A and B are shown apart, each in its own frame.
Chain A
């Protein structure tokens, strides 16, 4: 019974969205330039944020999982803090560091004439801040659970450290990286609090879909619902695509369990 209640609670809002959607106006909505801008900006920033998270997050996960440095447990806890931090707090925190008068931002402004807040770059940073921990946690888990002896086996076959990393370690954690990247991307796409705090709400440069939805809700609820549906469709499409890709990879790679069972 509680299970049914929970399921209903999770599913009914989605049903509501579908029921109340102004289906006829969606096509015209999608051709509106401000909506298109917001959608494209969201997709672009979420993708860049995911790329940044992957490039720096995988090495961070590797350090967390494989290195033996004092204080690493504390670092792991701090790195994953954005998972539980309210995003608005994250945005304020980013402002204190990278804002025009921030600890670092002041010098960026003075020396290089670079200001980050209220630009598209700020959107990317806000999304990265909030979503990178998802990727780090996924990859850290995979690396910690991975059997180091595969790397030893590669070494006995004549592979040096770099070749072991490239041809054994990376392929072994690839599914986890992919899964983490999908989570990361979905989180970045939906990011609201940190973005509006740190990057503001300027159509064309920082107004992402979630901000557009929120704004539309004030003067055009129908449009807000339609925009929400678009966001929902994009998310579901990515999730389904990633799952089937993951299943395909799993079938190709076979499972360790099947090998160990020996049939």
Chain B
């Protein structure tokens, strides 16, 4: 057993030491590893075009990640997220494309180049930790330093210990993985991936196997680590909260393709696919904008700007312009658009309400009621079909049931309108 040192020190400075050259300012714990590491130079980003083909499946994704940037890869199960990470790590061969990290070619299918996984200097964190069961937490973290940099057992442990301390694991350093909780195990796995000083960090659903309480804790650690990290990192997840809170940028992968890419705020407000819209709790419509109305593809129309304010494609002060989102590319011009509706901003009424200039009122019929923690989501048959999220109090007041006719008031402030810029945003 490796006995633990004294009580854990306060968290060390921004950069815990790695077996590679520590970041400037941090006292060097160990000399920089003797050469050959393809990664980690300042300004070295990831530049990859990954094509992997399987029976009935094709992953084709092009991505760039800047140093220090965290990109979340979000998508449904089977979309190819994990395959993407495995291809970057060299665990899956490219059928086409290339992977470059800081100007070093890690793989190039056309030229037949593929650096094996152990030569890539890529840190990988797995959903189910995959800690080596026969090694203590400390020796798990030291494994990479010893394997990658040929350190002795003692030197490896010296590098590993500050990482455990940094992740709040000093007390469990001597424990085997079988005696760690899930949250502890995943933090050990994170330390293990970081200790050798990877040039790229890949996280494959690192929080998915944890229960809700533990997840909050590990997420906080992960956020702190990612904020300090000077190399590119990719975080695969199917939890939108992880993607929106941990990442600088989000890639949506569906069916092996990148379906949408953008900053979290943009993904959250302007989904481009039904999958993203559902994930963000929004209803998504496709249609044609003319003036202040959108004719939706399935029939029906939505007022997206206060009446009389639209001036055919030029900016107005209307409430539904997009400046509020901080995206800052002005209102959509007339033409094909996407409309995202926030169900919480849609109200239901038994008697026909006044529409006013800033809303549309549509006749609807309750099609379904799905109870939620704080009320219910009501699906409505209307043109176009809408959802409304109602509070418990509202549900009690309206006494809704399936089949009941109601009026839905859709204010322009419930809607986000943006151009259907790309071909795939058209009718499906």
- Using a CB–CB cutoff of 8 Å, the interface residues on chain A facing chain B are 147, 149-150, 152-160, 163-164, 167-168, 171-172, 174, 252-256, 258-263
Distance, CA A154 to CA B91, complexed state (A)? 11
Q: From A163, A256, A262, give the contact of B133 (CB < 8 A).
A: A256
B149 engages A254 (CB within 8 Å) = no
Distance, CA A150 to CA B91, complexed state (A)? 12
Number of interface residues of B (CB under 8 A): 41
A150 engages B211 (CB within 8 Å) = no
A154 to B: closest C-beta gap in Å: 7
Given A254-B179, A262-B182, A150 contacting B144 (CB threshold 8 A): no
With a cutoff of 8 Å between Cβ atoms, the chain B residues found around residue A174 in the complex are: 134
Given A149-B126, A153-B126, A172-B133, A158 contacting B177 (CB threshold 8 A): no
B176 engages A262 (CB within 8 Å) = no
Q: From B90, B126, B129, give the contact of A259 (CB < 8 A).
A: B129
B196 engages A259 (CB within 8 Å) = no
Distance, CA A21 to CA B118, complexed state (A)? 62
A16 to B: closest C-beta gap in Å: 44
B178 engages A157 (CB within 8 Å) = no
B180 engages A259 (CB within 8 Å) = yes
B132 engages A168 (CB within 8 Å) = yes
B91 engages A152 (CB within 8 Å) = yes
Distance, CA A262 to CA B180, complexed state (A)? 8
A157 engages B130 (CB within 8 Å) = no
Distance, CA A157 to CA B118, complexed state (A)? 6
With a cutoff of 8 Å between Cβ atoms, the chain B residues found around residue A163 in the complex are: 147
Distance, CA A167 to CA B211, complexed state (A)? 31
Given A149-B130, A259-B131, A156 contacting B178 (CB threshold 8 A): no
Q: Mark B95-119, 1 if CB is under 8 A from A, else 0.
A: 0000000000000000000001111
B143 engages A154 (CB within 8 Å) = yes
B239 in contact (CB, < 8 A): no
Given A172-B134, A262-B185, A158 contacting B178 (CB threshold 8 A): no
Cβ contacts A to B, 9 pairs, < 8 Å? A149-B126, A153-B126, A160-B118, A172-B134, A254-B177, A258-B178, A259-B133, A261-B182, A262-B210
With a cutoff of 8 Å between Cβ atoms, the chain B residues found around residue A153 in the complex are: 124, 126, 130, 132
User: A174-B134, A262-B183 provided; 8 other pairs, C-beta below 8 A?
Assistant: A152-B117, A156-B91, A157-B143, A157-B147, A157-B193, A158-B149, A159-B118, A259-B185
B318 in contact (CB, < 8 A): no
With a cutoff of 8 Å between Cβ atoms, the chain A residues found around residue B131 in the complex are: 259
Distance, CA A164 to CA B148, complexed state (A)? 12
Q: From A150, A164, A262, give the contact of B214 (CB < 8 A).
A: A262
Q: From A147, A158, A167, A253, give the contact of B176 (CB < 8 A).
A: A253
A156 engages B128 (CB within 8 Å) = no
Residue of A154, A157, A262 contacting most chain B CB atoms (<10 Å):
A157
Q: Which residue of B lies closest to A260 (CB)?
A: B128
Query: Nearest 3 A-B pairs (CB), nearest first?
Result: A254-B178, A262-B182, A158-B148
B89 in contact (CB, < 8 A): yes
A254 to B: closest C-beta gap in Å: 1
B144 to A: closest C-beta gap in Å: 4
A157 engages B192 (CB within 8 Å) = yes
Q: Which residue of B lies closest to A158 (CB)?
A: B148
B191 to A: closest C-beta gap in Å: 12
Q: From A158, A253, A259, A261, give the contact of B134 (CB < 8 A).
A: A253
Given A149-B130, A156-B118, A156-B123, A253 contacting B144 (CB threshold 8 A): no
B122 in contact (CB, < 8 A): yes
Q: From B118, B210, B211, give the contact of A158 (CB < 8 A).
A: B118
B382 in contact (CB, < 8 A): no
Q: Which residue of A lies closest to B143 (CB)?
A: A157
With a cutoff of 8 Å between Cβ atoms, the chain B residues found around residue A147 in the complex are: 130
A11 to B: closest C-beta gap in Å: 36
With a cutoff of 8 Å between Cβ atoms, the chain A residues found around residue B118 in the complex are: 155-160, 164
B181 in contact (CB, < 8 A): yes
A262 engages B122 (CB within 8 Å) = no
Distance, CA A86 to CA B123, complexed state (A)? 53
With a cutoff of 8 Å between Cβ atoms, the chain A residues found around residue B132 in the complex are: 150, 153-154, 168, 171
Q: Which residue of B lies closest to A160 (CB)?
A: B118
A261 to B: closest C-beta gap in Å: 8
Residue of B128, B192, B210 contacting most chain A CB atoms (<10 Å):
B128
Distance, CA A263 to CA B185, complexed state (A)? 11
Q: Mark B165-202, 1 if CB is under 8 A from A, else 0.
A: 00000000000111111110100000011001000000
Given A152-B91, A153-B126, A254 contacting B144 (CB threshold 8 A): no
B331 in contact (CB, < 8 A): no
Q: From B117, B182, B210, give the contact of A156 (CB < 8 A).
A: B117
With a cutoff of 8 Å between Cβ atoms, the chain B residues found around residue A154 in the complex are: 132, 143, 147
Distance, CA A159 to CA B182, complexed state (A)? 25
B121 in contact (CB, < 8 A): yes
Residue of A153, A163, A168 contacting most chain B CB atoms (<10 Å):
A153
